[in-house]
């Protein structure tokens, strides 16, 4: 029996969707936090936002507001005076420093912890766990030692090789489980996609919520939400996202894409093609200096970073990490953090901000390293401490 599994690069998926929206005329505003929902009587008119970069507050108006805030959907709905019961479920995973498999390996049993070993890029990931956490904890999820032990033990049953494979990082995310009813204990969790028309459900016009589901059904969720938006706006058009490929995914494999652009692509050029698809043609440059490797572990060039800053809304190290994989390799930001920060400072002009950015980035990397802090991870951690504190003076 074979399951038609595959794995996807979630960072590339997200960036491609964002880019697609922009190409179709949408505006994307990052670092912009929704601080309130503007309501006039029973009608939602728009949102109030706060920009973390500029500190400015701004209001946006629209006939429909779509709440796609994931686990923060509850807070957002609350801003409109609406109750959507969410029961965040934390899941922890381990990333191994290299692949031990080229196909997804699943446990053939009822859903339980650490059921799946997924290869992707240069790593493989074992997951996951599930534990309810309070909403407040969502801003700062941490992987516990027990979870690490469980993931290693169960993971070894999927691939004994994992026992001697270096663990790169531990991380946790939160699933936005939605209650099917008003029961506060959350015993009845909605399975599948949840699309709430608040005009029908709560008598409040101009607001819908789309949540639940899984990553693999994200496009369908978006289709359901936009069908509902179109219905309310009186737009009679069918959704086409099921037919049109996302920007960069039109052509063949990343190797083919790279070969078309550079006859003899370097490793850095190939992995950039894996990250960006055919959009990678944007970073082709005649200036050799653009080939300078800012992140050696993940082979990220200065050209790719500048492209992410210019085209993909990257304004912090975390943004760069998500768009280009800077800091995600075995050194976990040891060298590249300062180099990339230098490029960001040059782009947006604020050194002070980049100093703080480096501190934040290193702390965030450490968060995922110390739960698996032994062996080579501990060696790298010691080196990082020495370099940043004694050599660089951070």
Partner 1 sequence: MRYDAVIVGGGLAGLTAGISLQKAGKKTAIVSTGQNALYFFSGCFESIQEPTPEILSLFSEAGVRVHYTPGVRLMPMGTFKESALALDDVSLFPAPDFGKKVLIINFMAYHDFFSSFLAQGLEKQGMECRIRFLNLGDLAQPELGPNQMRAVQIARKLDDVWEKVVQEVRVLLKDEDTVVLPQVFGLNDASIPERIRQGIPARVVFAGTLPPSVPGIRTQNLLKKRYEVLGGTYLLGDRVTGAHVYEDVVQNVVTKQLDRHYLEADHFILASGSFFSKGLSSNPFKIYEPLFELDMDYDTDRNTWYDPTFANHQPYLGFGVKTDAEFHPSRHGVPVKNLYVIGSILGETHPELGSGAGLAIRSALQVTQLITGKP
Q: What are phi and psi of 104, to 5 degrees?
A: -70, 135
Paired strand residues for 94: 126, 170
Minimum distance of partner 1 from residue 76's CB (angstroms): 29
| Contact flag: residue 363 with partner 1 (CB under 8 A) | yes
Minimum Å gap between C-beta 189 and partner 1 is 31
- Residues 143-182, one symbol each (x = binds partner 1 by CB under 8 A, - = not), give --x---x--x------------------------------
- In sequence order, what are the beta bridge partners of 172? 92
Residue listed under structure tokens 């996951």 = 128
Look at residues 304, 333, 385, 371 and name the one whose alpha carbon lies nearest to residue 15.
304
Per CB under 8 A, the segment of 112-120, 170-178, 257-265, 379-387 that binds partner 1 is: 379-387
What gap in Å lies between CA 271 and CA 254, rounded to an integer? Answer: 8
284 part of the interface to partner 1, by CB under 8 A = no
**Closest C-alpha to 85, from 71, 65, 102, 96:** 71
Q: Decide if residue 141 touches partner 1 (CB under 8 A).
A: no
Out of 8, 233, 292, 356, which residue is the one contacting partner 1 (CB under 8 A)?
292
- Residue 139 binds partner 1, judged by CB under 8 A: no
Binding of partner 1 by 385 (CB under 8 A) = yes
Q: How far is the CB of 78 from partner 1 (least distance, A)?
A: 30
Nearer to partner 1, 138 or 338 (CB): 338
Which tokens is 371 given?
A: 């739960």
- Give me the helices (H) in the chain, please: 10-23, 73-79, 145-158, 198-202, 218-233, 254-261, 267-276, 302-311, 317-324, 336-348, 351-369, 376-385
Residues between 333 and 362 that touch partner 1 (CB under 8 A)? 335, 338-339, 341-343, 345-346, 351-352, 354-355, 359, 362
Q: How far is the CB of 298 from partner 1 (least distance, A)?
A: 14
For residue 121, the minimal CB distance to partner 1 (Å) is 21
Omega of the bond prior to 128 within 30 degrees of 0, cis?
yes
Task: Give the shortest CB-369-to-partner 1 separation in angstroms.
Answer: 9
Instruction: Give the per-residue contact string, 119-138, with partner 1 (x = CB under 8 A; - = no).
Output: --------------------
Kindly tell me which of 136 and 182 has the beta carbon lying closer to partner 1: 136
Q: Strand pairing partners for 35? A: none
- 67 forms beta bridges with 209
Among 186, 185, 210, 206, CA closest to 196:
210
Q: Using the rule CB under 8 A, is 114 a contact of partner 1? A: no
Q: How far is residue 241's CA from residue 199's CA, in Å, rounded to a whole number?
A: 26
212, 177 Cβ separation under 8 angstroms: yes
For partner 1, give the closer residue by CB, 223 or 290.
Answer: 290
Q: Does 10 bind partner 1 (CB under 8 A)?
A: no
CB of 367 to partner 1, least distance (A): 7
367 with 144: CB under 8 angstroms? no
Taking CB under 8 A as the rule, does residue 302 contact partner 1?
yes
Distance CA 298, CA 363 (A): 20
DSSP, res 190: P
The beta-strand segments (E) located in the chain are 32-40, 43-51, 57-61, 65-67, 89-96, 105-106, 116-120, 123-127, 131-132, 167-175, 193-197, 207-212, 293-295, 300-301
61 vs 383, which CB is nearer to partner 1?
Answer: 383
Asked if 373 touches partner 1 (CB under 8 A), the answer is: yes
Residues from 305 through 324 that contact partner 1 (CB under 8 A)? none
Residues binding partner 1 (CB under 8 A): 142, 145, 149, 152, 288-294, 302, 335, 338-339, 341-343, 345-346, 351-352, 354-355, 359, 362-363, 365-367, 370, 373-375, 378-383, 385-387, 390-394
């Amino acid at each position: 029996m074979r399951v038609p599994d595959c794995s996807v690069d979630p960072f590339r998926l997200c960036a491609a969707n964002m880019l697609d929206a922009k190409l179709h005329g949408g505006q994307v505003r990052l670092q912009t936090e929704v601080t309130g929902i503007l309501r006039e009587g029973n009608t939602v008119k728009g949102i109030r936002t706060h920009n973390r970069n500029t500190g400015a507050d701004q209001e946006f108006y629209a006939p429909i507001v779509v709440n796609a805030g994931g686990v923060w959907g509850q807070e957002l709905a609350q801003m409109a005076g609406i109750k959507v019961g969410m029961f965040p479920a934390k899941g922890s995973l381990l990333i191994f420093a290299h692949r031990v498999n080229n196909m997804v390996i699943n446990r053939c049993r009822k859903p339980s912890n650490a059921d799946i070993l997924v290869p992707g890029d240069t790593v493989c990931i074992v997951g996951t766990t599930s534990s309810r956490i309070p909403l407040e904890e969502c801003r700062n999820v941490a992987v516990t030692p027990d979870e690490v032990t469980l993931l290693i033990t169960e993971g070894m049953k999927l691939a004994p090789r994992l026992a001697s494979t270096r663990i790169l990082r531990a991380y946790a995310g939160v699933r936005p489980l939605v209650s099917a009813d008003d029961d506060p204990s959350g015993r009845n969790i909605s399975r599948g996609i949840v699309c709430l028309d608040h005009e029908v459900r709560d008598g409040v016009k101009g607001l819908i919520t789309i949540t639940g589901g899984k990553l693999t059904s994200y496009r369908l969720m978006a289709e359901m939400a936009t069908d509902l938006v179109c219905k309310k706006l009186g737009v009679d058009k069918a959704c086409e996202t099921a037919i049109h490929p996302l920007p960069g995914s039109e052509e063949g494999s990343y190797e083919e894409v790279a070969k078309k652009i550079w006859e003899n692509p370097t490793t850095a050029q190939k992995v950039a093609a894996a990250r960006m698809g055919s959009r990678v043609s944007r970073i082709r440059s005649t200036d050799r200096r653009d080939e300078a490797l800012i992140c050696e572990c993940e082979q990220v060039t200065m050209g790719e970073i500048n492209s992410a800053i210019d085209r993909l809304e990257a304004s912090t190290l975390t943004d760069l990490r998500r768009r280009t994989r800077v800091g995600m390799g075995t050194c976990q930001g040891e060298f590249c953090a300062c180099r990339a920060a230098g490029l960001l400072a040059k782009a947006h002009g604020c050194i002070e901000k980049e100093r703080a950015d480096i501190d934040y980035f290193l702390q965030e990397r450490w968060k995922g390293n110390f739960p698996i802090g032994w062996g080579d991870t501990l060696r790298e951690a010691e080196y990082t401490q020495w370099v940043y504190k004694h050599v660089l003076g951070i």
